[in-house]
Amino acid sequence: MRTVRTLAAALVAGTALLGLAGCTAEETPSASSTSSPSQNTSRSTGSSTDEDTAKAPAEAGTSFRTATVIRPGQSGTAQASTGDYLYWQFPADAEDRTTVRATVKLPDAATRHGSHRWQLDVYDGLRRHQACRYGSNSKSAPAGAASVELSCALRTVRAWSEPWANDPLPGAYYIRLTVTDAPDQDLGLPVSAEVSATTDDVGGASSVDGSLAEPLVPASGPSVEPEDGWSSGWWSSRWLWTAGGAALAALAGIWGYTLTRGNGRPRHVPPGL
């Protein structure tokens, strides 16, 4: 019975170890993010500090090659004209889930001649258009509206993918903001725009086997990587769960063997047998 009690205690300890692994996986570094209806928590790369705010870019690129770099959790602003194509760039690593938001302050209502439809598009490092899991990435603003707000919640970035798949991969992601429908008389009117990308690390639940040799970033031109570097999918909380599960399986096997082999003493044999 002492052996059984000892093994039972060891099994309980193994269970606690597995629980600790789960807690460790969930306690990813986080920082304040921009306020939003979903109140997402940013990764450590999205730290919102006075220094980051001071360095926030106040312009946008006009193409993929000249896209202005912003960090997750950092806002980028720009003054432009209705009809311009505005581009920003941000990094996204394996197991990241990003939500992109944009706010456009429209020209004065007295100068407009009708409604304006704005659209927010996101492209990966291969310049493939990325679908939104949810959000309003295209919205029409009535003639009297002062602003329009857009959002796009992207799919989780995977460390690796089959060549035929369209999964989002680690690397640079591009934001494109433009008006898609407006009266010709309104083209050229001044607007101001603000965009942000808020990133959550969803952990090992979305990890996969394999990883890219290199993240998909521009060969030349502006680019930025996460503050803690590219993980490329080599580490995830699945390692903790795997180790905890292996420990529990080993303890369960020892316990089962002890129960089935008996106490090792010879059984009493009745006389005459």
| 3-class DSSP assignment, residue 13 | helix
Provide the pLDDT for residue 262. Answer: 60
CA distance 208 to 55: 35
Provide the pLDDT for residue 249. Answer: 78
E strands of 1-157, at which residues? 68-69, 75-81, 86-92, 96-105, 116-123, 132-134, 138-141, 147-154
* pLDDT tens digits for range 189-225: 999 999 999 999 887 655 555 677 788 888 877 788 8
Structure-token pair, residue 67? 């896209």
| 3-class DSSP assignment, residue 264 | coil
Average pLDDT, the chain: 77
DSSP 8-class letter at 205: G
Q: Please name the amino acid found at residue 29.
A: P
Provide the pLDDT for residue 271. Answer: 62
Provide the pLDDT for residue 5. Answer: 44
Lowest mean pLDDT among 40-44, 72-76, 181-185, 198-202: 40-44
pLDDT tier, 68 (very low <50, low <70, confident <90, very high otherwise): very high
pLDDT tier, 144 (very low <50, low <70, confident <90, very high otherwise): very high
DSSP 8-class letter at 257: H
